[in-house]
Amino acid sequence: MIQVLEVDNVRCSGCANTITKALQELGCKEINIDLSCEPRKVTIDVSDEAQLAQVKGILRQLGYPITTEENSTFSSTALKAKSFISCAVGKFSSSSDN
């Protein structure tokens, strides 16, 4: 089933690369990340609600929470810090793949 999730903290192709790799490892197919709109949209094909819950958890672990999630100021700051690290990893792994 196709799902469109609006996520926070996605800024560039490095972020998109990190998200794509993590979701591919989970077994998601047809992953598309739209960097042209705010909030950013991640469109994925998931098999069921359980996999969708896993996707949301992975996004949060990487620092890219769903836009509608409630976050405290501390949690929001921690998630932004995680997203910077995930972005850097995505940029590095993208350049080393070439």
Tokens 């972020």 belong to 15
pLDDT at 94: 60
- CATH code (residue 14): 3.30.70.100
Number of domains in the chain: 1
Residues 6+ apart with CB under 8 A from 97: none
On whether the CB atoms of residues 43 and 32 are closer than 8 A, the answer is yes
Write out pLDDT tens, residues 50-93.
Answer: 999 999 999 999 999 998 877 666 577 777 777 877 877 787 77
DSSP 26-61: HT-EEEEEE-SSSSEEEEEE-SSHHHHHHHHHHHHH
Full domain range(s) for residue 91: 2-97
What distance in Å separates the CA atoms of residue 82 and residue 71, rounded to the nearest whole number? Answer: 14
pLDDT at 34: 95
Quote the percentage of the chain above a pLDDT of 70: 90
Q: Quick one: CA torsion of 65, 89, 11, 45, rounded to 10 degrees?
A: -60
Indicate the range of 8-22, 42-56, 72-86 predicted with least confidence. 72-86
